[in-house]
Each structure stands twice: as C-alpha cells, then as structure tokens.
C-alpha cells in the first residue's frame, strides 16, 4: 500500500457524481468543510449512461477530482428482480465517467464499489485479497460484476495512462436520504418503515424477510463520507480499500435494535420464502485502519438519527 502525498481539496473543482443519492448527499455535506468548489449535474441535465453527454459535461465543467458515487442500487429484491438494469446502468456509468475523466485530465477519481464484490463464502472478515477467489452470491451477482469491473477500470487506466484513480469498497450503508420504498430498499430503511408503520397502526407483528440469521455489517453514511474524503486526500494505489464499521449483527438483532429505537413492542415473524442472501458480510478494515481512519458512529446512534430523519421527511407521506 502506498502512503500518498496529500491531495488537497481546498480550491479544487470537485464533482460529486450522484450528489442526490444517500452517499452523494452525505459527501456534499462533508466536502462543504474542505474549501473545494463543488460541482453537480442534475439528473434531468445529464444521464450518466450517455457517453456523449458525459464527455461534453466533463469538457465544460473541468473537474480536478471526481467522487463517482452515482449508481443504480437497491436491496436484495431489487437486485434479483432487475438484473439487466443493475449490470447495464452501472457498467455504463463507470465506463463513461472513468474514460471521460482520463480524456479530460482529471487529477484524481474515487470509484465507489460495494462489499458484494467478494465471493459468497469468502473467509470473514473479508480482506481485499478475497476479490475473485470464488463464486459470487447469486442474488446480486449482476451488480457485483459491474462493481468489480469498476475496480478493474481504475486499475487499467492507472497502469496504461498513469491516472490517479482509486477505489473504495463500502460495506452495507444506511442513513438519511436512504430509499424507504419497500420493493427497492435495503434492510435498514425497510425495517424502519415497517416497524414504524406497525407502531402507529398498533399491529402485533412485523414480517421480516428470510430467517433472521444472516449477519450484516452496517456503516452510517456520514462516517462513509468522512472515510471517502480521507481516502481521496491520502490514498493513491492500485489496491481497492474496504470501508466498514468493523462489527456485524444478525438481521434478528438488527430488528430488535430498530424496534428499541422506534419504541415498538410487538413480535417479528420470519418469512422464509424470502431469500437470505449471503450468510455473512463483514469487511476486513485493517488497510483503512493502517492509513489512520476508523468509523465513529455506533449502530444504535446512527439508527436513531436515521429514524428521526425518516419521521420528519417520510412518515407522514407513508401514512397518507
Ligand atoms: O439489505 P438487503 O436487502 O441486502 O438485505 P443484502 C439484507 C438481509 O436482510 C437479507 C433481510 O437477508 C434480507 O432477506 N431482510 C429482512 C430484508 N427483511 C427485509 C426487508 O424488509 N427488506 C430487505 N431489503 N431485506 C445487498 C445487495 O445485499 O447489499 C446489493 O443486494 C448491495 O447488491 C447491498 O451489495 C449492500 O445485504 O443481502
């Protein structure tokens, strides 16, 4: 791993691709403190799957640095029911942005992947070296293949053209601005929405998909944004870097914790007709820790902040 010279963001033109999403909006908040000039392209203005559009936007905007946080994302159901969109959209976005970044002399680019790049049965915690050592989890293999291609794009442009393009692999994320639509969402926003609705309607039970036994690691998105800015400033190298919280919980434990945060006293009913997905997904954060960064938000505190945001922004709409 290379200890990089610090890449200062102050005074630079920084494009957050995907600034409207959960990760992108957290990055916008975090970057506001760095003194950089923030660049954004609204969805209606630029479709990142359109190669010409991306080329001409970069030619005009001239960013010095890019956080590539734009992606088609979703939970286990969205991934397995919309495989073509997950592979096509993500491959198109990555190839367009990385290629145009090289052509327009972008000095640094950080590509955001996902811990689902690792084999379904990778040894836990999953070190960066586990990449491409075994078969992927079938429910999200399409998304995973696209994200693996993103890592390889950054490596290829670094090797052939000397571009300082790096890749970060976050674990499962949650936080404000998450997607709470039950058909698309990840488990945390789904359980917040379902458990809150059950509390309001005084329902005695809440359905939970799968067996409740899979283990997941969850990172609060404000911590992720801090880690990404840290990596942009301090990491340069071919190796992708895991970003995680360092601990995991079962889905049953997660449901209990969310019930505590929401103030719900009913029971959970496990629907085993729904998929569990990967049995365990905990990333090894040794590389990031060696560089000097650690997550700081405990799960229950992050969940409480996310729930407050959900009540203020979504709960009324969901109930009507
Ligand atoms: O968060 P999630 O959808 O994605 O599901 P993955 C995590 C676990 O929670 C699975 C269970 O075992 C689900 O069956 N679960 C329980 C629920 N109740 C629910 C519910 O109401 N909604 C949802 N969504 N899950 C995703 C990948 O995998 O992780 C993506 O599909 C990406 O590609 C993302 O990598 C980080 O952790 O299983």
Q: Residue 201: exposed, middle, or buried by beta-carbon count in 10 A (0-12, 13-18, 19+)? A: exposed
For residues 17 and 57, what is the distance between their CA atoms, to the nearest angstrom?
11
Token duo for residue 84: 């073509």
| pLDDT means over runs of 10, the chain (320 residues) | 78 98 98 97 96 98 98 96 98 98 98 97 98 97 98 98 98 97 97 98 98 98 98 97 98 98 98 96 98 98 98 75
Global pTM reads 0.97
Report the nearest atom of ligand 1 relative to the CA of 173: 36
Distance separating alpha carbons of residues 33 and 180, to the nearest angstrom? 28
Whether ligand 1 lies within 6 angstroms of the CB of 276 is answered as yes
Q: Does a cis peptide bond (omega within 30 degrees of 0) precede residue 125?
A: yes
Q: Please say if 143 is a catalytic residue.
A: yes
pLDDT value of residue 26: 98
Degrees, nearest 5: CA angle 67-288-278: 85
pLDDT of residue 318: 65
Contact 37, 12 (CB under 8 A): yes
Query: Does the CB atom of residue 41 touch ligand 1 within 6 A?
Result: no
- Cα–chain-centroid distance for residue 158? 23
Task: Please say whether the beta carbons of 153 and 290 come within 8 A.
Answer: no
CA of 255 to the centre of ligand 1 (A): 13
Ligand 1 pocket check for 172: Cβ under 6 Å? yes
Cα 204 to middle of ligand 1, angstroms? 23
**pLDDT at residue 5, rounded to an integer:** 84
Spatial separation of the C-alpha atoms in residues 244 and 182, rounded to whole Å: 24
Give the pLDDT of residue 314: 87
Q: Is any atom of ligand 1 closer than 6 Å to the C-beta of 111?
A: no
Q: Where are the alpha helices (DSSP H) in 213-315?
A: 221-234, 251-262, 286-291, 299-310
pLDDT of residue 319: 57
Cβ–Cβ < 8 Å for 43, 53: no
- Residue from 112, 186, 195, 272 to probe ligand 1 pocket by mutation (most atoms less than 8 Å from CB): 186
Are 284 and 256 a contacting pair, CB within 8 Å? no
Q: 275: CA distance to ligand 1 center in Å?
A: 9
What is the C-alpha separation between 29 and 67, in angstroms, rounded?
13
């Amino acid at each position: 791993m290379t200890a990089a010279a610090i890449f200062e963001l102050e005074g630079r033109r920084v494009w957050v691709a995907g600034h409207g999403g959960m990760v992108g909006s957290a990055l916008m908040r975090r970057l506001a403190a760095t003194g950089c000039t923030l660049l954004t392209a609204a969805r209606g203005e630029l479709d990142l799957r359109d190669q010409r559009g991306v080329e001409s936007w970069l030619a005009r905007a001239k960013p010095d640095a890019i956080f590539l946080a734009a992606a088609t994302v979703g939970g286990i159901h969205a991934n397995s029911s919309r495989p073509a969109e997950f592979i096509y959209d993500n491959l198109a976005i990555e190839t367009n942005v990385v290629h145009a970044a090289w052509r327009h002399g972008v000095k640094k680019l950080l590509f955001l992947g996902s811990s689902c790049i690792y084999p379904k049965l990778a040894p836990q915690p999953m070190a960066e070296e586990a990449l491409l050592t075994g078969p992927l989890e079938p429910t999200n293999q399409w998304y995973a293949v696209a994200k693996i291609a993103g890592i390889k794009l950054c490596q290829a442009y670094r090797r052939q053209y000397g571009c300082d393009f790096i890749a970060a692999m976050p674990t499962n994320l949650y936080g404000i601005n998450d997607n709470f639509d039950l058909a698309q969402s990840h488990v945390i926003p789904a359980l917040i929405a379902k458990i809150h609705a059950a509390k309001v309607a005084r329902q005695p039970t809440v359905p939970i998909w799968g067996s409740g036994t899979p283990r997941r690691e969850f990172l609060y998105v404000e911590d992720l944004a801090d880690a990404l800015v840290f990596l942009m400033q301090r990491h340069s190298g071919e190796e992708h870097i895991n970003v995680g919280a360092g601990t995991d919980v079962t889905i049953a434990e997660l449901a209990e914790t969310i019930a505590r945060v929401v103030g719900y006293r009913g029971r959970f009913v496990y629907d085993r007709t729904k998929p569990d997905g990967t049995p365990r997904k905990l990333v090894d954060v040794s590389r990031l820790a060696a560089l000097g960064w650690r997550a700081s938000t405990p799960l229950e505190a992050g969940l409480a902040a996310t729930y407050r945001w959900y009540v203020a922004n979504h709960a009324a709409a969901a109930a009507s």
